[in-house]
Amino acid sequence: MGSSLTKSTKVALLIIALNCAERKIMNKTEDMKNIVKEKYSQIAGQSREENTKSCCGVGGCSTVDYAVFAEDYTKLNGYVADADLGLGCGIPTEFAQMKSGDTVIDLGSGAGNDAFVSREIVGDRGRVIGVDMTEDMIARSRENCEKLGFNNVEFRLGDIEKIPISSGVADVVISNCVLNLVPDKEKAFKEIFRVLKTGGRFSISDVVTTGHLPKAISEAAEMYAGCIAGAITKSQYLSIIEQAGFADIRVMKEKAIEVPDEILLQYLDERALTIHRASNTAILSITVYAEKKSCCAPGCCTTERP
């Protein structure tokens, strides 16, 4: 039958197949984002205690306990308890080299935890802009900000793959356990490069691996929302940062995250779990620092009002 098709018919079928493949990729990307928005909308309505006592911050789902990831913010200047949902996997402000008067962008700002700590460092002369894709998180962070009376902290609804901020306005970009949830990490880091001033820097805490996760885990929606399935290898992660144009790339902090067998057995049988453990594939929390040394695109050095 294939040999009887005309050339134009074959071309038409090829175009249809390519369009279908593109739609499948787009749908997968949108599905991933929708999963994250749904889960984090639920989390936004809960306290830190509720989030760390229930799997993935949402009671009843079978995935990673965020207490495995979370760092202790309580002794940091600028800490706001109502903004701490226990969702981070590091403290990116620790290595961001912020100073008074800096403009800081916090990607995946949640209820405002890292944004308010940043504001304490940059002071009244500085500015902090939080960006989050979840409407409920933006609502909660704005409510927290209003209670605090800050006029130099704001929160914007937006996508990290298309940051709603002008080019070249940030001295510092931070993010805490969020980039692993972004489907297109290459685009995300290019966007981070775009919004930074030349000489600016980022400090990002995130989850990576030292090998490849079993397919049953990497394709599990709840493990994706729980920051595991979306993790790529450490070498891939650092390579994407370098390809985006960053220099002086350094892993400032690294720690292993131990996911209990009872969680993994929700997705793997005993044999698969044994194979996974024997592979020595590790899940790591890392905090990465890098700098924007030069411009790689027209207009990237232009400093604009955010």
| pLDDT number for residue 68 | 54
Q: Has residue 174 been placed in a domain?
A: yes
CB atoms within 10 A of CB 279: 13
The Cα–Cα gap between 148 and 79 comes to 11
| pLDDT number for residue 257 | 82
Using alpha carbons, select from 206, 195, 204, 205 the residue that is nearest to residue 245. Answer: 195
* Dihedral in degrees, nearest 10, Cα atoms 25, 30, 31, 36: 140
| pLDDT number for residue 266 | 79
Enclosing H/E stretch for 283: strand 283-291
Task: Count how many domains the chain has.
Answer: 1
Q: Has residue 88 been placed in a domain?
A: yes
Q: Has residue 19 been placed in a domain?
A: no
Q: Has residue 1 been placed in a domain?
A: no
Q: Has residue 108 been placed in a domain?
A: yes
- Paired sense of beta strands 247-257 and 283-291, if any: antiparallel
Question: pLDDT per position in the chain (306 positions), as tens?
Answer: 444 444 443 333 333 333 433 333 334 566 666 666 666 667 766 656 555 544 334 343 344 444 456 788 999 999 999 999 888 889 999 999 999 999 999 999 999 999 999 999 999 999 999 999 999 999 999 999 999 999 999 999 999 999 999 999 999 999 999 998 888 999 999 999 999 999 999 999 998 988 777 676 666 545 544 556 577 899 999 999 999 999 999 999 999 887 777 777 777 778 887 887 888 788 889 999 999 996 554 444 444 445
Q: Has residue 18 been placed in a domain?
A: no
| pLDDT number for residue 165 | 98
Mapping DSSP onto H, E and C, the string for 160-228 reads CCECCCCCCCEEEEEEECCHHHCCCHHHHHHHHHHHEEEEEEEEEEEEEECCCCCHHHHCCHHHHHCCC
| pLDDT number for residue 77 | 96
Instruction: Identify the CATH number of the domain in which residue 171 sits.
Output: 3.40.50.150
Q: Has residue 96 been placed in a domain?
A: yes
The Cα–Cα gap between 91 and 72 comes to 9
The Cα–Cα gap between 206 and 228 comes to 10
| pLDDT number for residue 51 | 53
| pLDDT number for residue 265 | 78
Domain that holds residue 180: 31-291
| pLDDT number for residue 267 | 75
Q: Has residue 305 been placed in a domain?
A: no
